[in-house]
Structure 1
């Protein structure tokens, strides 16, 4: 039976990176809400009494997919997985309640990172205009500033990586998802890991939390 891991943390905490490593380490699936939604864009939700008949229509309209649709998609993804690391869900308390009804978690790990560190991480990303390769001015700089190592294209800062957008993303996270962290902390299920440590140290600490 594969491990059931929930990884929590604000935008920029490194959830994606650590989740991928955990999935490889334990031979389980990396389940993100975004991937699950994209994989089930055409899912028929006509019986849910929702505004649209498929998740894809919400995404195309640029609207938030309702909780009950996200819940159904996550339930589908988890039901077929032999073990998983969940990344980006639950985003609010209602989703956390639903999650407890459909599965048991072996570990809930929270990557704690100071807000100013998060802002510098989120605003430091640079993307190649040409091939889409990602770099980071601090953590993964290109060999030559502003130039892509892969293809020599120009590196740019995306609109959603500006400081204003970064702070807004963190505010939304605080409002919606911070209560989820408290929910697991109060239940005595949460292990907090210092997300500001070097990535390898963070990974070792997360693995320890999962195995203990």
Structure 2
């Protein structure tokens, strides 16, 4: 039996990176809401009495896919996986309650990172407007400051990477997801891992939790 792992953490905590490594290391499926939605775009949800009959129709219209549809899709993705690492769901308490009715979790890991550190990480991203290459002023700087290694264009900071936008994103995350973290802490299943070490150190700490 593969393990059932839930990875929680704010934007910039490194959830995506760590989830992928966990999935490879423990031979699990990496389940993200985005991937699950894309994989099930054509799923027939007409019996749900929703505005559209498929998740894809919401995405094409640029609208937020309703919780009940997301729940159904995640359930579908989890039921077909032997073991999984779930990343980016549940985003709120209702989804957390829904999740407990569809599966049993072996481990719930919360990547804890200080807000100022998250702001540094998230505002440090620079992208190339021409070829799309992505850098980070601190962690992955280009050879020449502000210039793309690949094509020589001038790097830019995206609007959603400015400090004001980033702090707002973190505030919204906190508002919605803090209750989820408390929910699992209250159940006694939450293990907090310091997300501020190197990616390798953080991975070792998570792997230890999963091994237990």
| Superposition TM-score, scaled by structure 1 size | 0.95
Deviation string, structure 1 residues 37-95 (Cα, Å, up to 9, x no partner): 12222222111111122212222333221111000110111111121111100001111
Aligned ranges for residues 33-44 of structure 1 at < 5 Å? 33-44=33-44
Tell me the residue number matched to 2:183. Answer: 183
Aligned ranges for residues 109-128 of structure 1 at < 5 Å? 109-128=109-128
Tell me the residue number matched to 1:154. Answer: 154
Tell me the residue number matched to 1:139. Answer: 139
Tell me the residue number matched to 2:208. Answer: 208
Displacement of 1:130 in angstroms is 2.5
Distance 1:90 1:115 in 2: 21
Distance 1:22 1:110 in 2: 14
Displacement of 1:149 in angstroms is 2.6
How many residues matched? 212
Tell me the residue number matched to 2:81. Answer: 81
| Superposition TM-score, scaled by structure 2 size | 0.95
Displacement of 1:139 in angstroms is 1.2
Displacement of 1:201 in angstroms is 0.6
Distance 2:130 2:81 in 1: 36
Tell me the residue number matched to 1:9. Answer: 9
Tell me the residue number matched to 1:45. Answer: 45
Distance 2:210 2:129 in 1: 39
The DSSP-based 3-state class of the residue aligned with 1:155 is coil
Distance 1:190 1:41 in 2: 32
> Unpaired segments of 5 or more residues in structure 2?
none
The DSSP-based 3-state class of the residue aligned with 2:207 is helix
Displacement of 1:147 in angstroms is 2.2
The DSSP-based 3-state class of the residue aligned with 2:110 is strand
Flag as ranges the 4+ runs of structure 1 deviating above 6 A.
Answer: none
Structure 1 residues 90-99 or 162-171, which shifts more? 162-171
Distance 1:92 1:74 in 2: 14
